[in-house]
Structure 1
C-alpha cells in the first residue's frame, strides 16, 4: 500500500518582522511591548481578519500569515504599512515601530495548523529585502496581481541572491503612496476643496524679568505649549523652528501671520517678581487684529518645572476651545454654501453639545455634508458616530439596533482612517461602555487620554468611566479637572458630577450638581428623587418622582437601571434603593 505523502497546497504567504526590535527593547522593554500589543490589537490582527488571513505563528517581533488570495495578502500588507506610517507621524523617530513585509505565492507543506516549505522560505527572505515600512513581493505575486489593484504600483529591483535559496529570486518592491516625492495633483485638488484647519503660531514668550535664568523657563514653556497644542488634530500648529525665528524681535501681528500663513497668534510674557512668577498670554485673530482671549497666571516660584506643566495645561486647554469658538464665529459669518468640511464638523459639535433632538438632527445633516465634501475625513466619521450615539441613548431613532450598528460602522471607518485621533478612541470608549464591555471601554479611554490629556471631553469621560467602574472619588477629581480645563463646558458635565457624587454617597453635593442643569429630563429628575430620598427629604424626593412619571409615564426602576452601566452590583443596588425609597414604581 502506498503511504500518502504530506499535504501540499498553493498559498499566499506573508512574512512580517519588526525593525530594530532588540534596540527598542533595550531602551524601553515595557513600553515597546505595550505599544506592539496595541498595534496588534487595533491594527494588525483586524486587518488580517478583514482580508481573510490566518495567523500561522508569531514570534516576539514577527509573524507568518497565510491567505487564500494573493489580492487579500497585498491589500492587508498595504493597509498595515499605510496605517503604521500615520501612527508613527505622532511619535519621535527614535520610538518608531516599523515592519518589513515579504509576500510570496508558492507551494507549502501542511502539518496540522502549521505550514512549511519553499513557499514559506521565499516569503521570509523577501521580508529581509524590504525596507523599514516597506513591502517586497516575488515575481509570482506580481504576475498574479496584474493590474487588478488600483493605486498599487511595483518597482522591479531585479534578481536577488538570498540566504538558503539556491536560485536567484526576482523581486518587486511595492511603491506605497507616501514614497512619492510630491503628492499627485488630484490629492492637491482634494486638499483645496475641503475645509482648511484653523492654524496658529505660538510666538516665543518674552522674558520681562531681567533674569537670564528665566529665559530658559520662557523658552521651555513656549515649546511645551507648541507640543501640547499639536495633539489637537483639528488645529494646524506652526513648528518651533518657524516660531522661534521671531525671538527677540519687535513684530507686527498681521505681518507675522501673513509670513507664516496662520489665522491666530499666541503671544505673551514671563516676569519674575520676588518669589513669584507671572505669565501673561493673549490669543489674537490675525485677520481682524483682534484680541479674542487673554489670561494671567500667578504662581509661587517653588518648583519651576511643575509651574511649567501646570501653566502649559491651562493655556492649551483653554486656548483650544477659544480657537474653536472664534473659528465657529467666522464660519457663521460666511454664506452656508461656502462652508467647508471642517466648518460643518465644528458647527455640528456645537449643536451636539446642546443635547436636544432638533439640534442633534441638524448636527447629523452637517456631518453628512462634511463627509460628502471629504469621504475620508476621519474626524467627521468619529463625530457622526458620536451624534448617532446620542440619538441611540435618547431613543430619537426609529430602529435602535440599526442605529447602534451604524454608530459602530462609523467608528470602525474613523479608526481605519486615523487611529491617532483621540476623539475616535473617546467615542469608542463610550460605545463599548454602552455594550457593558468595561475592559474595552477602559482600553480606548486610556488611548484617548494618552493622545490628548488636555481635551476636556476626554478628561470628563475619564471621570464618568471611573464612576461606572466603582471609583467615584477618583471620578469626581477628573470631572472637576475637566470643568477647570474648560470653564465654558457643556451643561452635561454637571450631570456626570452629580452621578459621581451620588455613587460616592455625597448626596448634598450630588443635589447641588443636578440643580445646575437648566433643562432637566426625566433621568435627571430620577437621580434627584433618589438623591433626596437618600438624604431623608421625603417631600423633595416625592416631587421629583412625580415629575419623572409625568415626563415618562411608563417609567419603572428595573427598566431604568438596565440603561445604567455600573460594573459593581453594590453601586447598582445603591441607586435602586434611592429610586424605590423615593416611591418610583419597581
Structure 2
C-alpha cells in the first residue's frame, strides 16, 4: 500500500479523491463512487450553493437523468454522514436551486495519516542482514525511459533476493518512494531494513550511466558508492555487477556459489526484455483493460523469444485476470494454463515466472499440488519473494487452509509492507478468519483490503460477508452494492466455481453473501 496524496478533512471524515472513498476515522464508508463525486463537489464549494446541473455533471458526466436519481444519492450521503457522526445537518436543500454543504469546516490538502501510522507500527529488524533498493532516478531527460530505470531496479532486487542470507524488500513496496525526497533513516524504519541502496540511471543512445550508493539506514553513513558507464548491450552484466557490489558491501566475504546465484539466465533478446518491462505495470494492475493492453506487448516479446519464461508468466496472469473479472470465458482460462505451463518449462531459474505460473495453475487449472510445487521452487530460488507468499496465501485461503493462509499472508506483507498486492494478502486473511468464525478479525482484514485496492470487487465481497456475519446488514448491503457497481455480472456461485472454493468456505461465504443481497 502506498501513502495516499492530498485529501479533504471535515469533522471525523476524510475524503480521498484519489481512490474515491470517504473514510470515517480509519475505516472506509460504503458510499458509492457517484455519491462520493457529489460530496466532493459540495465540500469544494462549502457554504456556497451548488446547482443540480453541476451535481449531475459531476455524478453522471452530464448524462440526462431524472431528478429523483440525484435525490436518492443526496439521501444516501446524508444518511451516511448522519449515522456515522450523529450530526443531523450536513447538506442543505435549496428549493429549485440545488444543495449546499453546511457541515463542519473543510480542510483541504490534508495529508493522509497512513505514513505516520505505518511509521508508528514500523517492523523490527530481521535477524538476517536486510536491504531495500529504492527506485533509481531517471536522468535521461526522457520520461519514456522511466520504465528502463524501473526495470534496472527490479533486476537488481531479483538478484539480491536470490541470496539466502539476505532479507530483501520487494520492489512493490519500495516503488511507493518513487519521485519523493526521502530520509533514508525513515525508509529504514518504515520498511524494517538495515541497508538502503539508491541510485540514478542515464540512458542515451547505446550507452548507460548508472550511479549507485549503499547507505546504512541506522546511522545514515555511506557504506559503498560507485559509478558505471556501459553499453546498453551489457545491461544484464551491469545489473549483476551492482547487485554483487551491494552484497559485497554488506558481507565482504561473498562465497562463489552466491555469486553464481546472482548471475542467472536472462533473455537472449534485449528487445523482448524491453517489451516485458513496458508491459509489467499493466500486468500488475490486475484490471481487464490494462492487462489486455499488456498482452499485446507480451505477445510481441514471445514472438521474438518463444521461450521467455517471464513473458509467459505475465501472460498467464493477464489471462487469469480476464477469466475471473471479464466473464469467466473458457478461452482465457485455457490461455492462462497454457502460458503458465510454458513459464514452468522455461523458468526453472526464475522465481517471478514460477510464482505467476503457480498461481494460474492453482486458480485456473485447480491443481493446487502443482501450484505449490511451483511456489516452493520459487522460494527455493528467492526466499525473499513477497509475491510468492501473497499469491500462495490467496490459494490457501480459497482452499480452506485458514491458518496457513494467514501465516503466508503475514510473511508476504512483512517482506513488502506497502505492496500493491497487499490487498490480496488481506483478502486471504479476511476469508480465513470468516471460515474460523472470527468475524471481527475478518471485518478488519476486509477493510484493509478495501483500502489497499478500492477499485477491485473481491475485497468488497469479503467485507459484505463479514458485515453480514456480524449482523450489520445495512452496511453489508452497501458493500454488496459496491461489488455490483465494480463487477456488474458478479454471481457468487460462479466466483466459487471459478476459484475452486473449498465447500466449507463456500457454505460460510454463500450464506453471508445471500443475506447481504448478492445474487447467487
TM-score range relative to shorter protein: 0.3 to 0.5
TM superposition score normalised by structure 1: 0.43
Report the structure number with the largest CA radius of gyration. 1
TM superposition score normalised by structure 2: 0.47
